């Protein structure tokens, strides 16, 4: 089985759990006999390529003009792309003004000219102001990649809404079946105040797909109920965790206080404000505790101000965004890990904490709650219950040891090899259906 996979990030350059999941998944697929070609907007050259072939979309040259009927066909097939910008997706801002008048005047005749030009677009691979433009441009490159790799893949796999247009483009050019992976919906990120453009892309991707993989039953239900995707088209495959090949030594703590950690984006979805409120309640009962918030996001200033108003700034530490080995070290330094997410499609970070022998507290509103028995589960909004759980785990050593020991045993069975086997079965199903 050969897969053309479209992602937005890949370790070590990641902004969250999406890249971590893609890495674990591709390793697991390789061990299940699946060859993966992973296309990403911008590769840096230091990605682990032992289990996957990486294609840097920024290196792909797209050709425009009437070089062949195929080129015109690609443009025709890409006509479904619309972005809220006056930029045509495949023309750079610098060239737009000069090309625009010609395009408007010539219309369809433009493709009858012998003029030919080629272009590479250097993607940022980030989540900035030009994100929608990059998403659309990425789809153009995806069509070119699918054309160049004709006959070298059996199925297409696109991760999250950022790559759905790319997946659709590759499907239309190649005719191969498309599987899209829903790691987080717009409702998870924004609540009811959704970005309608993002929602439209998500729905278009899932409607065009032959199968949709959801990371939890929680996400599967949202996909079915809020996007109108047929239930028989959506399958749940829970995420997993990868154990390090060489465990590093536990770093010296330097403090005798208990350490309680939050690690994730400091945004509404992740519930950082509930963590702060619970911390304040704990500190009224146990003063020798330090709370760490590792991450960055649009709520950072709000959270810092709230910590100051509560008078707990001397007990609170902000590390900024952590990645790679720094994440592992942070878990090793922790006595308790808390994930108070308001809406979490899955949540890999509790598995990483449990892997480091750390007891975890997670919100009931998370997909990972479906697969964990030895995690303390509370409603994200119930800061009293959250505070009680933290207090219990830092005050009663036997309770903490039990959750740490049982949690490690539990998470050891959540392997990417097993999750990848289920994903491979989805591939085989869509390929078989197309060949009938």
Residue with tokens 């599967």: 220
Q: Rounded to an integer, what is the distance from CA 392 to the centroid of its chain? A: 32
pLDDT of residue 374 exceeding 90: yes
pLDDT of residue 184 exceeding 80: yes
Is the CB of residue 205 less than 8 Å from the CB of residue 164? yes
**Distance, CA of 270 to CA of 274 (rounded, Å):** 9
CATH number for the domain formed by residue range(s) 2-240+419-435: 3.40.50.2000
pLDDT of residue 86 exceeding 80: no
Q: Check if 2-240+419-435 and 258-412 are the same fold.
A: yes
Radius of gyration for the chain, computed over Cα atoms and rounded to the nearest angstrom:
23
Q: Pick 95 or 367 by higher pLDDT.
A: 367
Q: How far is CA 323 from CA 9, 11, 38, 82, 183, in A?
A: 13, 9, 21, 34, 19
Q: Could you tell me which CATH class the domain 258-412 is placed in?
A: alpha beta
Query: How does residue 134 score in pLDDT terms, banded at 50, 70 and 90?
Result: confident
Q: Could you tell me the two tokens for 285? A: 């009962």
SS3 76: helix
pLDDT of residue 78 exceeding 70: no
Q: Kindly report, residue by residue over 379-436, the tens digit of the pLDDT.
A: 999 999 999 999 999 999 999 999 999 999 999 999 999 999 999 999 999 999 988 7
Q: Kindly report, residue by residue over 11-67, the tens digit of the pLDDT.
A: 888 877 888 899 999 999 999 999 999 999 999 889 999 999 999 999 998 754 433
> Where are the chain's structural domains?
2-240+419-435, 258-412
Q: Kindly report, residue by residue over 146-182, the tens digit of the pLDDT.
A: 999 999 999 999 999 999 999 999 999 999 999 999 9
pTM for this one?
Answer: 0.84
């Amino acid at each position: 089985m050969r897969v053309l996979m479209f992602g937005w990030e890949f370790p070590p350059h990641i902004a969250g759990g999406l890249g971590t999941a893609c890495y674990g998944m591709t390793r697991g697929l390789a061990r299940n006999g699946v060859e993966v070609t992973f296309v990403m907007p911008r590769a840096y050259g230091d990605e682990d390529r032992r289990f996957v072939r990486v294609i840097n979309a920024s290196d792909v040259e797209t050709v425009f003009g009437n070089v062949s009927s195929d080129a015109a066909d690609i443009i025709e097939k890409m006509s479904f792309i619309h972005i809220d910008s006056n930029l045509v997706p495949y023309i750079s801002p610098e060239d737009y003004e000069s090309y625009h008048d010609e395009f408007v005047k010539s219309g369809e005749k433009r493709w009858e000219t012998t003029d030919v030009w080629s272009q590479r677009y250097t993607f940022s691979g980030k989540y900035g102001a030009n994100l929608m433009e990059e998403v659309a441009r990425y789809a153009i490159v995806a069509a070119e990649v699918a054309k160049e790799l004709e006959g070298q893949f059996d199925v297409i796999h696109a991760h999250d809404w950022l790559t759905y247009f790319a997946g659709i483009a590759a499907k239309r050019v190649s005719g191969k079946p498309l599987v899209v992976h829903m790691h987080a919906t717009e409702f998870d990120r924004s609540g009811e105040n959704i970005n309608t453009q993002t929602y439209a892309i998500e729905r278009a991707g899932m409607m065009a797909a032959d199968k949709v993989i959801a990371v939890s039953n929680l996400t599967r239900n949202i996909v079915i109920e809020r996007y109108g995707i047929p239930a028989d088209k959506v399958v749940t495959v829970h995420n997993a965790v990868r154990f390090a090949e060489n465990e590093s030594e536990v770093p010296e703590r330097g403090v005798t206080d208990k350490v309680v950690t939050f690690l994730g984006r400091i945004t509404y979805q992740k519930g950082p404000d509930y963590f702060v409120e619970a911390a304040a309640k704990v500190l009224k009962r146990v003063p020798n505790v330090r709370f760490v918030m590792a991450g960055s996001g649009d709520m950072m200033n709000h959270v810092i101000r709230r910590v100051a108003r509560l008078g707990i700034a001397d007990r609170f530490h902000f590390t900024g965004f952590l990645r790679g080995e720094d994440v592992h070290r942070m878990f090793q330094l922790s006595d308790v890990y808390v994930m108070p997410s308001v809406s979490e499609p899955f949540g890999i970070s509790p598995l990483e904490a449990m892997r480091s022998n750390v007891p975890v507290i997670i919100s009931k509103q998370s997909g990972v709650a479906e697969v964990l028995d030895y995690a303390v589960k509370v409603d994200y909004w119930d800061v009293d219950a959250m505070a009680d759980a933290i207090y219990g785990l830092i005050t009663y050593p036997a309770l903490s040891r039990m959750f740490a020991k049982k949690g490690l045993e539990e998470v050891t069975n959540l392997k990417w090899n097993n999750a990848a086997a289920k994903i491979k079965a989805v591939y085989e199903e869509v390929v078989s259906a197309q060949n009938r």
